[in-house]
Amino acid sequence: MEERERRPETPAEENGAVGVFLVLGRQLKLLRERAGLSQREFGDLVGYGPDQISSVERGVRTPRPEFLQRADEILGTEGLFRAVIPQVEEAMTKARTRHPEWYRGYAELEAKAVSLHDYSTMGVLGLLQTEGYSRAVFTQRHPPLDEETIEKRVADRLSRQQIFEQWPPPEFSFVMEQAVLERPIGGPGVHKEQLRQLLRIGRMRNVQLQVMPTVRSEHPCLDNSFTLLTPKGKEQVGYLESHGYPRLITDREEVRTLAARYGIIRAQALNPHESLDLIEKMLEER
């Protein structure tokens, strides 16, 4: 059966402002190009990755007020982007979670998290993926997804990354198996961009990114990936997913077990500085 789904609209669609963000994105692209800046160069100046700039320019990502203020300064637009900040804030206030039905409960908790810790074994966590990597993941899925669903899934996944722009920022830690970094999902170009994205996120002050070396002879968790998150004002929960079947763990003893296991994983992994050095070396060799 063809896999299609109903989902909530994007923030812009939901409050009728889709035209605003499409026009805003086109104006941003025009002015960026007129300034002679590539998406990567402009992204470096505003603290965004090139995929994030691309998403804003295509109207599928709601730009944060701080981004619009910085864009005004860099591009010398004399308040053009600041003028739409009220509409942006309204869209962000009214936005609902934009994900498949089975995933929405976790996505709502993730959006409110004050801390998030993840251990990945097979692929880069969706929260860390570039647009190219994400599209390759959904394109390669079997049974195949139709093109409309792929584009929706990619846009929804990228929308989650706005959690990195919140203030005060949540605390993040990520541990991934070395094999995850070595698997060139999407081909050489996509792979290199994904490694650059990991370096960019891993250098954030509120993020600790670690790699579990393949050469380790001991390992506390050969079962599956998992996530631990703490929503604001609530107790820590765990999340597991296998073949599209999710499990949100709220039992205190089960969560405690996962947290203890995660602590051992972090202790056995390379420290954050060693991990970023390894990723840089891998990028140089590509």
Residue in 216, 202, 194, 217 with CA at minimum distance from that of residue 282:
194
- pLDDT category at 2 given cuts 50, 70, 90 is very low
DSSP string, 133-174: HHHHHHHT-SSPBPHHHHHHHHHHHHHGGGGGG-SSPPEEEE
Rounded Cα distance, 76 and 78, in Å: 6
> Which residues face 208 on adjacent strands?
173
DSSP string, 53-98: HHHHHTTSSPPPHHHHHHHHHHHT-TTTTGGGHHHHHHHHHH----
Rounded Cα distance, 213 and 45, in Å: 33
Contact 120, 225 (CB under 8 A): yes
Rounded Cα distance, 99 and 10, in Å: 10
pLDDT of 23-79, one tens digit each? 888 889 999 999 999 999 998 998 888 877 887 888 767 777 888 888 989 998 888
Q: Find the mean pLDDT for residues 101-127.
A: 86
pLDDT of 169-203, one tens digit each? 999 999 999 999 999 999 999 999 999 999 999 99
Q: Find the mean pLDDT for residues 154-159.
A: 85
The DSSP call for residue 102 is G
Per-domain boundaries in the chain: 11-94, 102-285
Instruction: Tell me if domain 11-94 and domain 102-285 are identical in fold.
Output: no
Around Cβ 283, how many Cβ atoms within 10 Å?
17
Mean pLDDT over the full length of the chain = 85
- In the chain, how many H helices and how many E strands? 13, 6
Please tell me the CATH code under which domain 102-285 is placed: 3.30.870
- pLDDT category at 91 given cuts 50, 70, 90 is low
**Mutual orientation of helices 188-202 and 50-57 as an angle, nearest 10°?**
100
Q: What is the pTM of this model?
A: 0.70
Q: Which fold has domain 11-94?
A: 434 Repressor (Amino-terminal Domain) (1.10.260)
* DSSP helix/strand/coil, 203: coil
Rounded Cα distance, 16 and 59, in Å: 13
Rounded Cα distance, 117 and 286, in Å: 28
Q: Find the mean pLDDT for residues 2-17.
A: 41
Phi/psi region, residue 47 (left: phi>0; alpha: psi -120 to 50; beta: rest), is left
Rounded Cα distance, 7 and 224, in Å: 28
* DSSP helix/strand/coil, 225: coil
Omega before 143 cis (within 30°)?
yes
